[in-house]
Structures are given as structure tokens and as C-alpha cells.
Amino acid sequence: MKRTAKLLAAIACSVLFAFAAAACGTDGGKTESGGTSPGQSAEGTLPESPETSFPADGESSGGAQDENGSAEPEAEKAKYIRIKTNGLNVRAGASASTSSLGQVDADMSMIYLGTENGFHKTYYRNRTGYVSAKSAYTELHEMEPASETVERVIEEGTKLIGTPYVYGAVRYHNGKGTRLSGFSVNKFDCSSLTQYIYYHGSGALLDLTTRTQIVQGTHVDRSDLRRGDLMFFTNSTRYNKTGIERVGHVAVYLGENLILHTASDYCKIEEISARRWGYYLETRRVVHI
């Protein structure tokens, strides 16, 4: 009996030791990109530009199961319209005879809300718009969705596609939720856009600029980029600066190398170019994926 008790105690200790070793297998807070870990300041030197490849999105593990072991239905995929030609009109209605709300360019995407009378329904400048469904002009593509909260944030951003970029646009709030006078939903720069859509989509309070937003949320390694994460970049004018002064742009990662952002022209969804990857600095997770 004593021998059996000793044997069981030895097995238990081995299991506990293995579990503790696995749980403590960290890298001491260092990150792949050289960015800050949660609780650290971004005042130090930000990482040099990494290679220009981008991470693959997470693969499915076969779907979740309910308590009875039955497979739960998969979440509906996020659907988008990819524009294939420059200067495509966004119409006020599902007809070429309706007025044009504006134009969009090739290689950008817009959210897909359905198809009516040969036109894809979408959002444009905070209202409903329509683009031709002809294959010469547009095509549909899908992406894996994230949590409901993240999807609400992204949808708020897609409503603003086409909204003009204005450097220094008045923020929606002061960083603590107090509304600022002079705000207009008709103009955004990159950090005022992220502040607005994260507040309306999730209630998250982002600060006023890229250089203060970059210390919010939780650091995410580049290899763990997920839909809804905030990506921060430098730019040509800030490339040789140090610390947070090197930060010059922020965008929302959507998956499949796509970001939602505004930079120099208007709010759009587009691929991250090799040049922009060369400016990449840091990723922060503000809301649950």
C-alpha cells in the first residue's frame, strides 16, 4: 500500500512539473517585431522595418461543437466587393440612371450587402450605394469573420468608404469619450478614423493620434495578426525618427493582407503593399477577436 501511494505521488509530481514548465515557457516579454509587450512603454526605439511577407490567416480547427458533440453551424463569412476598374461610379440606386455618389478605383474593396437589379449594394460615405455587378467591373470575395464586436467595428469602417482624407481632422472625442465640437463624419485622417469606428463599434476609447494609440491595447506578434487588430506604420517623413515619433500611420487589419484605413485620398479597403510592409512597426489588439 505504501509503495502504491509513493508511486501515485511521483506521477502527480511529474505531471505538475511538466505543466508548470509549459506554462512558464515565455520569452521574457520580448516580441518578434521588437515592439512593446503589454504594460511596457513605446517610448523606446521602435523596430526596424521587417521583411515584406505577410502572415497567413489562422486555419480552421474543424468547427466548434455543442455540449452534445454536434457540430455548430459556421459563422457566415464576411463578403466584399472587389473593384476591377478605375473610376467606377457608385450609384444612389440600383440603376445606371440614378445619380452618382462618387467614384472608386481598381483593387479596393467595399462591403457586400446584397445584389439588386444587376447592382451590388454597399456602403459609401455613410449611406447606401450601388456598384455594377458586371464581372468586368466587380467581383465578390469572402473572408473569415471574427467576433461580433470586431465585426461591428469593421462594419462602422465600411460605412465610411469613400470619405475624404483630411490631415488633422477633428476627432470624435477627446480620448476619454467627451464629444469634441467641430467633428464631421465627412472627413477623417487615419487615427481619427480608427478612434471613431472603435468607439461606435465596441465602445473602446482610443486616444487622439497614432503616437498615443500605439501604446493602447495589447501587443501582438506579427505572426499572430488577426482580423480587427490595429497595425501601425512609419512613413517616408518619419522613417528616420526614433521612438514613438517614428509612428505615422494606423490601419485596421482585415485578414488576407487587407487593411481598412485612410491615407492621402479617401477611406478604403486595400492590400498592404510591399512598400507599406517595409514601414510596418507594431500591432495592437484593442478588442477581443
List pLDDT tens digits, range 46-94.
444 333 333 444 433 334 455 555 555 566 899 999 999 999 999 999 9
- Give the CA count within 13 Å in the CB-facing half-sphere of 130: 19
Average pLDDT for 123-152: 97
Instruction: Assess contact for 230 and 194: CB atoms under 8 A.
Output: yes
**Tens digits of residue pLDDT in 179-197:** 999 999 999 999 999 999 9
DSSP E strands: which ranges in the chain? 78-83, 88-91, 100-104, 109-111, 114-116, 119-124, 127-132, 138-143, 218-219, 230-233, 249-255, 258-262, 267-271, 280-285
Q: Is 195 helix (H, G, I), strand (E, B) or coil?
A: helix
At residue 287 the predicted structure's pLDDT band, cuts being 50, 70 and 90, is confident
The rounded distance, in Å, linking the Cα atoms of 125 and 266 is 10
Nearest-angstrom CA–CA distance, 250 and 231: 6
- Sorted by where each starts, the structural domains of the chain and their CATH numbers stand as 77-143 (2.30.30.40)
Q: Which helix (H) or strand (E) holds 169?
A: none
pLDDT, tens digit (0-9, with 9 covering 90-100), for 214-258: 999 999 999 999 999 999 999 999 999 999 999 999 999 999 999
Percent of the chain predicted with pLDDT > 70:
74
The three cell numbers of residue 213 are 494609440
More confident residue, 131 or 32: 131
Structure confidence at residue 74 (pLDDT): 63
